[in-house]
Protein backbone atom coordinates (compact mmCIF):
# COMPACT_ATOMS: atom_id res chain seq x y z
CA UNK A 1 0.00 0.00 0.00
CA UNK A 2 1.35 3.44 -0.89
CA UNK A 3 1.74 6.42 1.41
CA UNK A 4 -0.68 8.25 -0.78
CA UNK A 5 -0.44 10.25 -3.97
CA UNK A 6 -0.90 13.82 -5.13
CA UNK A 7 -2.30 15.06 -8.42
CA UNK A 8 -1.04 18.61 -8.95
CA UNK A 9 -2.27 20.40 -12.08
CA UNK A 10 -2.18 17.14 -14.02
CA UNK A 11 1.06 15.72 -12.62
CA UNK A 12 1.10 12.74 -10.28
CA UNK A 13 3.61 13.06 -7.44
CA UNK A 14 4.28 11.81 -3.95
CA UNK A 15 3.59 14.10 -0.98
CA UNK A 16 7.25 15.01 -0.50
CA UNK A 17 7.71 16.27 -4.07
CA UNK A 18 4.38 18.03 -4.57
CA UNK A 19 4.93 21.78 -4.09
CA UNK A 20 2.73 24.83 -4.52
CA UNK A 21 4.06 28.40 -4.91
CA UNK A 22 4.28 30.71 -1.88
CA UNK A 23 2.33 33.15 -4.03
CA UNK A 24 -0.56 30.76 -4.40
CA UNK A 25 -3.75 32.61 -3.52
CA UNK A 26 -4.86 29.66 -1.45
CA UNK A 27 -1.87 30.31 0.83
CA UNK A 28 -2.05 34.13 0.60
CA UNK A 29 -5.80 34.69 0.89
CA UNK A 30 -7.54 31.37 1.43
CA UNK A 31 -8.91 32.08 -2.04
CA UNK A 32 -10.23 28.67 -2.98
CA UNK A 33 -12.74 25.89 -2.51
CA UNK A 34 -12.46 22.18 -1.78
CA UNK A 35 -14.13 18.83 -1.36
CA UNK A 36 -13.45 15.64 0.54
CA UNK A 37 -14.65 12.31 -0.74
CA UNK A 38 -14.56 9.00 1.12
CA UNK A 39 -13.15 6.02 -0.74
CA UNK A 40 -14.57 2.62 0.29
CA UNK A 41 -13.00 -0.57 -1.07
CA UNK A 42 -11.12 1.49 -3.64
CA UNK A 43 -14.26 3.22 -4.93
CA UNK A 44 -15.11 6.88 -4.35
CA UNK A 45 -18.48 7.23 -2.65
CA UNK A 46 -20.88 9.89 -4.01
CA UNK A 47 -18.15 11.35 -6.26
CA UNK A 48 -20.70 12.89 -8.60
CA UNK A 49 -22.45 14.73 -5.76
CA UNK A 50 -19.13 16.03 -4.43
CA UNK A 51 -17.97 17.22 -7.86
CA UNK A 52 -21.26 18.98 -8.43
CA UNK A 53 -20.92 20.74 -5.09
CA UNK A 54 -17.32 21.69 -5.98
CA UNK A 55 -18.60 23.18 -9.22
CA UNK A 56 -21.22 25.16 -7.32
CA UNK A 57 -18.71 26.43 -4.72
CA UNK A 58 -16.32 27.42 -7.54
CA UNK A 59 -19.11 29.23 -9.40
CA UNK A 60 -20.07 31.14 -6.24
CA UNK A 61 -16.52 32.50 -5.91
CA UNK A 62 -16.27 33.16 -9.68
CA UNK A 63 -13.52 30.61 -10.22
CA UNK A 64 -13.96 28.48 -13.33
CA UNK A 65 -13.08 24.80 -13.00
CA UNK A 66 -10.10 24.00 -15.24
CA UNK A 67 -11.51 20.56 -16.12
CA UNK A 68 -14.95 19.27 -16.98
CA UNK A 69 -16.61 17.25 -14.22
CA UNK A 70 -16.18 14.11 -16.34
CA UNK A 71 -12.42 14.73 -16.74
CA UNK A 72 -12.11 15.55 -13.06
CA UNK A 73 -13.91 12.33 -12.13
CA UNK A 74 -11.66 10.31 -14.45
CA UNK A 75 -8.50 11.92 -13.00
CA UNK A 76 -9.73 11.27 -9.45
CA UNK A 77 -10.55 7.64 -10.20
CA UNK A 78 -7.17 7.12 -11.85
CA UNK A 79 -5.38 8.65 -8.84
CA UNK A 80 -7.34 6.42 -6.44
CA UNK A 81 -6.45 3.34 -8.50
CA UNK A 82 -2.75 4.26 -8.64
CA UNK A 83 -2.61 4.97 -4.90
CA UNK A 84 -4.01 1.49 -4.29
CA UNK A 85 -5.48 2.39 -0.90
CA UNK A 86 -8.82 0.68 -0.30
CA UNK A 87 -10.05 2.84 2.59
CA UNK A 88 -9.01 6.34 1.68
CA UNK A 89 -9.93 10.01 1.69
CA UNK A 90 -9.70 12.03 -1.48
CA UNK A 91 -9.25 15.80 -1.10
CA UNK A 92 -9.78 18.10 -4.06
CA UNK A 93 -8.62 21.70 -3.64
CA UNK A 94 -8.99 24.45 -6.18
CA UNK A 95 -7.44 27.90 -5.73
CA UNK A 96 -7.25 31.04 -7.87
CA UNK A 97 -3.63 30.21 -8.72
CA UNK A 98 -0.25 31.81 -8.04
CA UNK A 99 0.15 35.51 -8.75
CA UNK A 100 1.84 38.53 -7.17
CA UNK A 101 -0.10 39.45 -4.06
CA UNK A 102 -3.07 41.67 -4.87
CA UNK A 103 -6.62 41.32 -3.61
CA UNK A 104 -7.96 41.81 -7.14
CA UNK A 105 -8.42 38.66 -9.21
CA UNK A 106 -5.30 38.04 -11.34
CA UNK A 107 -5.77 37.94 -15.10
CA UNK A 108 -4.47 35.03 -17.16
CA UNK A 109 -3.43 33.03 -14.10
CA UNK A 110 -4.29 29.35 -14.26
CA UNK A 111 -5.97 28.02 -11.13
CA UNK A 112 -4.18 25.51 -8.90
CA UNK A 113 -5.94 22.18 -8.73
CA UNK A 114 -4.73 19.60 -6.25
CA UNK A 115 -6.06 16.17 -5.44
CA UNK A 116 -4.65 13.96 -2.71
CA UNK A 117 -5.42 10.37 -1.81
CA UNK A 118 -4.40 9.02 1.56
CA UNK A 119 -5.42 6.36 3.98
CA UNK A 120 -8.56 7.54 5.76
CA UNK A 121 -8.27 8.64 9.38
CA UNK A 122 -10.83 6.20 10.72
CA UNK A 123 -13.10 7.21 13.57
CA UNK A 124 -12.01 5.07 16.54
CA UNK A 125 -14.56 2.23 16.94
CA UNK A 126 -15.11 3.08 20.60
CA UNK A 127 -16.39 6.55 19.63
CA UNK A 128 -18.85 4.95 17.22
CA UNK A 129 -19.97 2.58 19.99
CA UNK A 130 -20.02 4.93 22.93
CA UNK A 131 -20.87 8.21 21.24
CA UNK A 132 -19.10 11.54 21.40
CA UNK A 133 -19.18 14.72 23.47
CA UNK A 134 -19.80 18.08 21.83
CA UNK A 135 -19.09 21.65 22.90
CA UNK A 136 -21.14 24.58 21.65
CA UNK A 137 -19.29 27.66 20.39
CA UNK A 138 -20.45 30.97 18.92
CA UNK A 139 -20.71 30.78 15.13
CA UNK A 140 -18.36 33.59 14.15
CA UNK A 141 -17.99 32.49 10.53
CA UNK A 142 -18.92 34.51 7.48
CA UNK A 143 -22.40 34.63 5.96
CA UNK A 144 -21.73 32.15 3.11
CA UNK A 145 -21.17 28.87 4.91
CA UNK A 146 -22.92 27.15 1.97
CA UNK A 147 -19.68 27.61 -0.01
CA UNK A 148 -17.10 24.94 0.81
CA UNK A 149 -14.29 27.46 1.15
CA UNK A 150 -10.75 26.54 2.20
CA UNK A 151 -10.88 29.40 4.77
CA UNK A 152 -11.40 27.14 7.76
CA UNK A 153 -9.89 29.23 10.55
CA UNK A 154 -13.09 29.49 12.65
CA UNK A 155 -13.62 25.73 12.23
CA UNK A 156 -10.03 25.01 13.23
CA UNK A 157 -10.26 27.22 16.33
CA UNK A 158 -13.62 25.75 17.36
CA UNK A 159 -12.44 22.16 16.92
CA UNK A 160 -9.32 22.85 18.96
CA UNK A 161 -11.44 24.43 21.72
CA UNK A 162 -13.70 21.38 21.77
CA UNK A 163 -10.70 19.06 21.91
CA UNK A 164 -9.19 20.97 24.84
CA UNK A 165 -12.53 20.67 26.65
CA UNK A 166 -12.54 16.88 26.15
CA UNK A 167 -15.11 17.00 23.34
CA UNK A 168 -14.86 15.51 19.85
CA UNK A 169 -16.82 18.11 17.90
CA UNK A 170 -17.78 21.76 18.29
CA UNK A 171 -21.31 22.78 17.33
CA UNK A 172 -21.73 26.32 16.07
CA UNK A 173 -24.55 28.46 17.50
CA UNK A 174 -25.75 31.59 15.73
CA UNK A 175 -28.45 33.80 17.27
CA UNK A 176 -29.63 31.01 19.56
CA UNK A 177 -29.90 28.35 16.86
CA UNK A 178 -27.50 25.53 16.13
CA UNK A 179 -26.10 25.66 12.62
CA UNK A 180 -23.63 22.76 12.16
CA UNK A 181 -20.44 21.19 13.43
CA UNK A 182 -16.92 22.15 12.35
CA UNK A 183 -17.00 19.36 9.76
CA UNK A 184 -20.43 17.83 10.19
CA UNK A 185 -24.14 18.55 9.98
CA UNK A 186 -26.36 18.09 13.02
CA UNK A 187 -29.66 16.27 13.62
CA UNK A 188 -31.95 16.15 16.66
CA UNK A 189 -34.50 13.42 17.30
CA UNK A 190 -37.29 14.95 19.35
CA UNK A 191 -39.23 11.73 19.86
CA UNK A 192 -41.51 12.66 16.98
CA UNK A 193 -39.36 14.07 14.25
CA UNK A 194 -35.80 14.26 13.05
CA UNK A 195 -34.92 17.95 12.88
CA UNK A 196 -31.95 19.39 11.00
CA UNK A 197 -31.18 23.02 10.15
CA UNK A 198 -32.32 24.29 6.75
CA UNK A 199 -29.63 24.18 4.05
CA UNK A 200 -29.44 27.96 3.56
CA UNK A 201 -26.37 30.23 3.64
CA UNK A 202 -25.73 29.40 7.31
CA UNK A 203 -24.56 25.81 6.67
CA UNK A 204 -22.86 23.56 4.19
CA UNK A 205 -25.45 21.42 2.49
CA UNK A 206 -23.85 18.12 3.47
CA UNK A 207 -23.95 15.17 1.15
CA UNK A 208 -24.14 12.82 4.14
CA UNK A 209 -26.96 15.04 5.47
CA UNK A 210 -29.02 14.38 2.31
CA UNK A 211 -28.45 10.63 2.64
CA UNK A 212 -29.43 10.69 6.33
CA UNK A 213 -32.65 12.58 5.53
CA UNK A 214 -33.50 10.13 2.76
CA UNK A 215 -32.73 7.04 4.88
CA UNK A 216 -34.74 8.40 7.82
CA UNK A 217 -37.74 8.95 5.53
CA UNK A 218 -37.35 5.44 4.09
CA UNK A 219 -37.48 4.10 7.65
CA UNK A 220 -40.74 5.93 8.24
CA UNK A 221 -39.44 8.81 10.35
CA UNK A 222 -40.76 12.31 9.89
CA UNK A 223 -37.94 14.70 8.94
CA UNK A 224 -38.09 18.47 9.27
CA UNK A 225 -35.66 21.11 8.02
CA UNK A 226 -35.99 24.19 10.20
CA UNK A 227 -34.20 26.32 12.78
CA UNK A 228 -32.98 24.24 15.70
CA UNK A 229 -32.83 26.31 18.91
CA UNK A 230 -29.96 25.32 21.21
CA UNK A 231 -32.40 24.61 24.06
CA UNK A 232 -34.26 22.17 21.82
CA UNK A 233 -31.03 20.45 20.82
CA UNK A 234 -30.07 20.05 24.46
CA UNK A 235 -33.42 18.53 25.38
CA UNK A 236 -33.54 16.18 22.34
CA UNK A 237 -33.84 12.43 22.89
CA UNK A 238 -30.96 11.84 20.47
CA UNK A 239 -28.45 14.05 18.67
CA UNK A 240 -26.50 12.84 15.66
CA UNK A 241 -23.72 14.41 13.61
CA UNK A 242 -23.02 13.38 10.02
CA UNK A 243 -20.28 14.02 7.49
CA UNK A 244 -18.18 12.30 4.85
CA UNK A 245 -15.32 11.14 7.09
CA UNK A 246 -17.41 11.15 10.30
CA UNK A 247 -20.22 9.12 8.70
CA UNK A 248 -22.71 9.19 11.61
CA UNK A 249 -21.86 9.63 15.26
CA UNK A 250 -24.15 9.83 18.27
CA UNK A 251 -23.69 12.91 20.46
CA UNK A 252 -24.13 11.75 24.06
CA UNK A 253 -23.31 15.00 25.85
CA UNK A 254 -23.45 18.69 24.96
CA UNK A 255 -21.51 21.18 27.10
CA UNK A 256 -21.13 18.44 29.71
CA UNK A 257 -24.87 17.72 30.01
CA UNK A 258 -26.11 14.30 28.87
CA UNK A 259 -28.28 14.02 25.77
CA UNK A 260 -31.27 11.69 26.36
CA UNK A 261 -30.05 8.59 28.18
CA UNK A 262 -26.42 9.62 27.64
CA UNK A 263 -25.76 6.68 25.30
CA UNK A 264 -26.17 6.20 21.53
CA UNK A 265 -29.88 5.69 20.94
CA UNK A 266 -31.98 3.47 18.67
CA UNK A 267 -32.46 6.06 15.92
CA UNK A 268 -28.69 6.53 15.64
CA UNK A 269 -28.13 2.77 15.51
CA UNK A 270 -30.78 2.28 12.86
CA UNK A 271 -29.62 5.15 10.66
CA UNK A 272 -25.94 4.26 10.95
CA UNK A 273 -26.66 0.65 9.98
CA UNK A 274 -28.78 1.88 7.06
CA UNK A 275 -25.99 4.23 5.96
CA UNK A 276 -23.38 1.44 6.02
CA UNK A 277 -25.74 -0.86 4.10
CA UNK A 278 -26.28 1.79 1.46
CA UNK A 279 -22.51 2.19 1.04
CA UNK A 280 -22.00 -1.56 0.85
CA UNK A 281 -24.57 -1.72 -1.95
CA UNK A 282 -23.12 1.22 -3.85
CA UNK A 283 -19.49 0.10 -3.78
CA UNK A 284 -20.17 -3.53 -4.57
N1 LIG B 1 -20.41 21.13 7.45
C2 LIG B 1 -19.13 21.45 7.34
C3 LIG B 1 -18.67 22.79 7.81
C4 LIG B 1 -18.21 20.51 6.80
O5 LIG B 1 -16.91 20.83 6.67
C6 LIG B 1 -18.66 19.24 6.42
C7 LIG B 1 -17.70 18.20 5.90
N8 LIG B 1 -17.44 18.30 4.53
C9 LIG B 1 -20.05 18.95 6.53
C10 LIG B 1 -20.89 19.92 7.07
C11 LIG B 1 -20.60 17.64 6.09
O12 LIG B 1 -20.67 17.61 4.70
P13 LIG B 1 -20.50 16.25 3.88
O14 LIG B 1 -21.54 15.31 4.43
O15 LIG B 1 -20.79 16.62 2.49
O16 LIG B 1 -19.14 15.76 4.12
pLDDT in tens, 228-277: 999 999 999 999 999 999 999 999 999 999 999 999 999 999 999 999 99
End-to-end Cα, the chain, rounded Å: 21
Among 89, 90, 204, 240, name the best residue to mutate to test ligand 1's pocket (greatest count of ligand atoms within 8 A of Cβ). 204
Contacting residues for 105 by C-beta, under 8 A, at least 6 apart? 62, 96
Nearest to 87 by CA among 138, 46, 34, 40: 40
| pLDDT of 1 higher than 60 | no
Q: Average pLDDT over the chain, rounded to whole?
A: 97
Nearest to 211 by CA among 165, 162, 276, 160: 276
pLDDT in tens, 100-149: 999 999 999 999 999 999 999 999 999 999 999 999 999 999 999 999 99
Ligand 1 atom nearest the C-alpha of 203 is 1
76, 115 Cβ separation under 8 angstroms: yes
In the reported structure, the alpha carbon of residue 279 is separated from the centroid of ligand 1 by a whole-number distance in angstroms of: 18
Residue 204 Cβ contacting ligand 1 at under 6 Å? yes
CB atoms within 10 A of CB 256: 10
pLDDT in tens, 87-112: 999 999 999 999 999 999 999 999 99
Give the chain's count of helices (H) and strands (E): 8, 15
Q: How far apart are CA 87 and CA 85, in angstroms?
A: 6
pLDDT in tens, 38-67: 999 999 999 999 999 999 999 999 999 999
Give the up-direction half-sphere exposure of residue 68: CA atoms within 13 A in the CB hemisphere: 3
The reported pTM is: 0.98
Ligand 1 atom nearest the C-alpha of 148 is 5
CB atoms within 10 A of CB 27: 16
Amino acid sequence: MSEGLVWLNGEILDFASAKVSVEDRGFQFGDGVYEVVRVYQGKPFALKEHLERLQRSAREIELPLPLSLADLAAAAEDLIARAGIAEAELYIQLTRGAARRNHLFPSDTPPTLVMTVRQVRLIPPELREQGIRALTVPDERWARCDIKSICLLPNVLAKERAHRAGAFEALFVREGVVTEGTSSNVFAWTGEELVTPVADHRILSGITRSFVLRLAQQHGYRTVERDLPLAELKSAREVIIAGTVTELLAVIAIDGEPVGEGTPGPIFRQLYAAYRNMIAERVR
